[in-house]
Structure 1
């Protein structure tokens, strides 16, 4: 039997589709709202998370993600992947080419000689089909997209989906899935930029405390392509294990201007079963595990990130410079937002020692990320981050 809530959601979604049709297919956000008042607004273009309303420690609601009020900037390339679902392959492919099963494939080179986030017309700019998909856990939206054989140079027709579910415990669960009729690389990711003080707070994210559940990272060359090495974070500016303020050493991060963090972390330690599983799998756990935690002392908002993927890209909004004007007419300054993108390692298709994620016919790609939101008092959170410690298995658990 269909519940009253489900019937209401379906009727609302049907009305939304009708309004879209009579308005010339104008895209509107589908709103997920839980019993705690948390709201997530989802757009069909790019399967984008457009808005996320969260209470601070005093109960005040703010939109905590960067983005635009209309769909056009997401379509025309103005958006630097704000809130977007990335595909077919997130992050960078060196030389915009790779070999697969003896064949050489040339894909779109949209960042110099390299391919970034699936190419110029990657999945972040495509029109996805969206439908209401409420579950027993909470309201949901399911988006689907069919990427044709040869799109942006990638082989195989891929049917992809992303499912957003908002739980009443303030978890936003994101489930990626895909199948293909030919072997093809796949690496879907979510590219939301957060500022836990609010997207128009006039605060950078440099005062946020970050913890990353990783003891190693993959260093990059001048073009942001991994060198193939896997190095320890200990005694480097890349160590957020234990937690520290993002801005504490941000000016000392090596690399060309404008400076800041844009680096892939090797999650869950280098020893034991996680290292063995990492060598040949898109995911390394059946269920998502704690990957990172970030907290704003000002607002008290906390984001815990859980995933079953082997890598996490931390980006500190380096190329934001005030020229992009977002929601409410607010220009986003440098380090005005951060992204924590769960993924397979960048350029893994060209690095045999990295985790590989080749999707073949009769297989199904699945990747889950959970954004867990909460608010805590200042002193509680200080104690929480100080208690971070490595376990004997080499995995750092989020402190409780």
Structure 2
């Protein structure tokens, strides 16, 4: 295994570095200190052809101007917070409005839009990068000085792990995820509509037309939201289910997981033979199928279009601060936030 560090870009007076992790099987993960963005993941298909299976850019300017959170760590709170405000112990905290009057993914200067400190890790069994960032009191509107650490590691079992750790000097909210867009066809040869997904989930969250949870858990039985036996993403695209239509013909929904660290999320592409298994200790995963990716920019030579990639955002349930029956994202003063998600790359 090996890890290398190169200069990726400059932002103001700060250097942005890219780290590339390569294991003994040739699996490669590249990431940068801006937003902890995962820029590339290179894996083999069933014939041994290595290609990039995530969406990203080759330069910082495109990340600054065009990126729909490609590969980034998002927070302090992933997803939308209704009305861009919340109440904690009788105090109302107004947040940055960046999504139709709501607050999305930590606001305009969330974890995805700052430069992190980094340190390389090399042990006998894994290689990786530790990222560090101190989010000051009031950033985005959130209370407390928050010390965050995000750790990316790769091992020779073709496992890539993301670990999140955070401690704050005030009671606050914290719910972090990674926003990588996967396309297992390799180098965006095809869109993701014919990818198949299996989820150990019996319920999803109903959304309003603002893509905020209504608070209702809906049983997946008999719907295109039932991924328990595996189904094509295309089913949501062709569906006339009102929830698929309001998401822009597809999915942008939180699923409540009824298993953890037990192959609860499996994505595969039959044509290439690539398979991704995701295991997490989080209670949910947001499936976003790239329904709004069309734009006037290119992704490494491919004009961006809808369904070019999909996200599997392992996290607590969105807007939980306004739904007391959801698992809480409140972090007490000096309590440690911890979360781990593992990505296992294989072939069929």
Aligned: 1:364 with 2:310: no
Q: TM-score, normalised by structure 2?
A: 0.94
Q: Within 2, Cα distance between the matches of 1:98 and 1:257?
A: 25
Q: CA RMSD in A?
A: 1.9
Q: Distance in 2 between matches of 1:82 and 1:181?
A: 30
Q: CA deviation at 1:24?
A: 6.1
- Aligned match of 2:23 in 29, 34, 50? 34
Distance of 1:28 and 1:158 partners within structure 2: 23
* 2:263 paired residue number: 290
What is the CA-CA distance between 1:136 and the residue it aligns to?
Answer: 3.6
Residue 112 (structure 1) aligns with = 100
When residues 20 and 207 of structure 1 are mapped into structure 2, their CA distance, relative to the original with a 3 A threshold, is closer
Contact 1:292 / 1:305 at 8 angstroms: preserved in 2?
yes
- Answering whether residue 84 of structure 2 is matched by residue 101 of structure 1, we say no
Match of 1:264 among 248, 254, 264: 254
Aligned residue in 1 for 2:204: 217
* Match runs of 1:52-63 below 5 Å: 52-63=41-52
CA deviations 1:36-75 (Å, max 9, x no partner) are 000000100000100011000000010010010012232x
Please state whether the residue corresponding to 2:216 is helix, strand or coil: coil
Q: Per residue, is there more strand in 1 or in 2?
A: 2
Structure whose alpha-carbon radius of gyration is higher: 1
Could you say which residue in structure 2 is the equivalent of 1:243? 230
Counterparts in 2 of 1:289 and 1:365: CA distance versus 1, 3 Å: farther
Q: 1:306 to 1:351 in 2, by over 3 A?
A: same
Q: Deviations over 1:84-108 (max 9, x none)?
A: 0011000010000111111101101
Partner Cα distance (2:320, 2:110) in 1: 18
- Which runs of 5 or more structure 1 residues have no equivalent in the other structure? 270-284, 377-400
2:15 pairs with 1:43: no
Contact 1:317/1:338 (<8 A) preserved = yes
Tell me, which stretches of 5 or more residues in structure 2 are unaligned?
Answer: none
Q: How many residues align?
A: 344
SS in 1 for 2:58: coil
Give the Cα–Cα distance (whole angstroms) in 1 for the partners of residues 13 and 49 of structure 2. Answer: 36
* Alignment match of 2:126 (pick from 122, 138, 143): 138
Q: Deviation of residue 320 (structure 1)?
A: 1.2
* 1:208 counterpart = 2:198: no
2:296 is matched with which residue: 308, 313, 323? 323
2:60 counterpart of 1:85: no
1:166 aligns with 2:139: no
Supply the distance in 1 between the matched residues of 2:138 and 2:179 (Cα, whole angstroms): 24
User: Kindly tell me: are residues 36 and 299 of structure 1, through their superposed partners in 2, closer, same or farther at Cα, counting changes over 3 Å?
Assistant: same
Q: Is the 8 A contact 2:9 2:60 kept in 1?
A: no
With normalisation by structure 1, the TM-score equals 0.82
Displacement of 1:159 in angstroms is 0.6
Q: Is the 8 A contact 2:195 2:267 kept in 1?
A: yes
Looking at secondary structure, tell me which structure has more helix per residue: 1
